[in-house]
Amino acid sequence: MSSTPFRLRFAPSPTGNLHIGGARTALFNWLLARHSGGQFVVRIEDTDLDRSKRVFEDAILHELRWLGLDWDEGPDVGGPHAPYRQTERLERYNEVIQRLLASGQAYRCTCTEERLTALRADQEAQKSGRRGYDGRCRDRDLGPDAGPHVIRLRVPDGDTVVEDLVKGNVRFSNGDIEDFVIARAGSADQVGMPMYNFVVTCDDVDMGITHVLRGDEHLINTPKQLLIYAAMGATPPRFGHMPLILALDGSKMSKRNGETSVGAYRELGIHPEAMMSYLARLGWSCGDQELFSVEELTSLFTTQGIGSSPSKWDMEKLVWVNSQWMRSLPADTMAARARGFFAARGWAEHPREAALIACLRERTRTLVELAEAARVFFGDDYPKDVAVMAATLPAAREILTGVVDLLSLQADWSEAALETAVHGWCEARGVKLGKVAQPVRVALCGQKVGPGLYQTLHVLGREVALARLGAAVSLVP
């Protein structure tokens, strides 16, 4: 690894939402760029015209920002290598392909789909010999007026070696790689839509990309891309192919067993800091540490820490990591994020927001759990059987009546003052606090367990707390 700043990129296809595998790829490339003091580029691979949608592009960029990633160049921020959408770079691709045709590194092929289908069927029937395109048009010297044609790269003899940052050297025999198509059929003076392996290579050359970290599934594409680099006379970036993320049972990830979009985890109340920490540990190690700040990750991350074995997605572990961030994030950050979950339930901002967050953050693991636990503190949106529950508790009427009388005279509604008052009341009557706390909590919240009694009273506020206690007293036999 050089001390020279690196240039890395994340190049998603806007054909769907950002999923966890793509998020990890983006994170690892971003971390390596920031660790080296280099640049991180976002580039949109939208040549799949039927499936690519701008709404997906916007969603992907939104989720990357939510995760905490920023970029130095991209479709929304510009940069010296613009444009950053492939559909806006077609003239550049045509220019490079024309150069490859002129140098003999690529050639036109007029073989029809019917002929290629028959060729594949014959090769399958023979069950021996080389499979794939047979090079029929290799030496026919066809010109642009040859009729409908694709553009193929002329694959040389020998081997192609991928010097992988994760796997070490991986050797491919060029004899197993057919003269592959780099552009679909087009007009006489304009090639058709270029293929993935060509455009990604051309973009990486033009944008000066020095390192590419991506999933294992892309390794099969890498020898083809290295052949294109060689045909262009360009120096390829260093590649690192990361093992897949599997489901907890070792099967391939799917929506059924846990894979979902990053946005769905955000909606579940996962904090971006937790997602970043958890994703970083999926395939990268740094001792036994589980929680990392952004500063720690950018300082520690190198490709040497990327493992060669698949990682497993463990939702319970993610929730545990999130629970640790619930307790450690600044109060104003927690409050700002919780507001969105409160608003989604139709609740206005709470008058004692800071106290509300403080009493719930230690008891909940996600923002959704926090919002559900906060339900009893907003208006009358709490269990309606509160009085019935209170009535079932021993000596409920006597206790609740006494507490109402006590608190009706209480002017200072701080937690400390409430604790002093209730403790004094219990001591004066020789009653254990637990015998008092349970019916009071049930009357206030409709449940026997919950935040501390004095926290609950303080967060509800004097008016609401006394109203709920009074309502319970009136219904207790």
Taking every pair of C-alpha atoms in the chain, what is the biggest distance, in angstroms?
106
- Backbone phi, psi, residue 237, to 5°: -75, 170
| Tally of helices (H runs) and strands (E runs) in the chain | 19, 11
Partner residues linked to 246 by β-bridges: 252, 312
Partner residues linked to 210 by β-bridges: none
Q: Cβ(42)–Cβ(9) under 8 Å?
A: yes
Strands 238-242 and 245-246: unpaired
Q: Residue for token digits 């909590």?
A: 441
Residue 146 CA to residue 241 CA, distance in Å, equals 40
Q: How many residues does the chain have?
A: 477
Q: Residue for token digits 């030496």?
A: 139
User: Which residues have CB under 8 Å from 214's CB, separation 6+?
Assistant: 25, 239, 240, 241, 242
Q: Cβ(177)–Cβ(223) under 8 Å?
A: yes
Output the DSSP codes for 115-180: HHHHHHHHHHHHT-S--S---TTTTS---TTSSS-EEEE-PPSSEEEEEETTTEEEEEEGGGS---
Q: CA separation (Å) from 255 to 13, 67, 148, 261?
A: 19, 21, 41, 9
- Backbone phi, psi, residue 171, to 5°: -100, 135
255 is catalytic: yes
Partner residues linked to 284 by β-bridges: 306
Element (H, E) at 422: helix 415-429
Candidates 252, 255, 435, 448; catalytic one: 255
Q: Record the tokens describing residue 308, joined without a space.
A: 């060669």
Catalytic residue ranges: 255
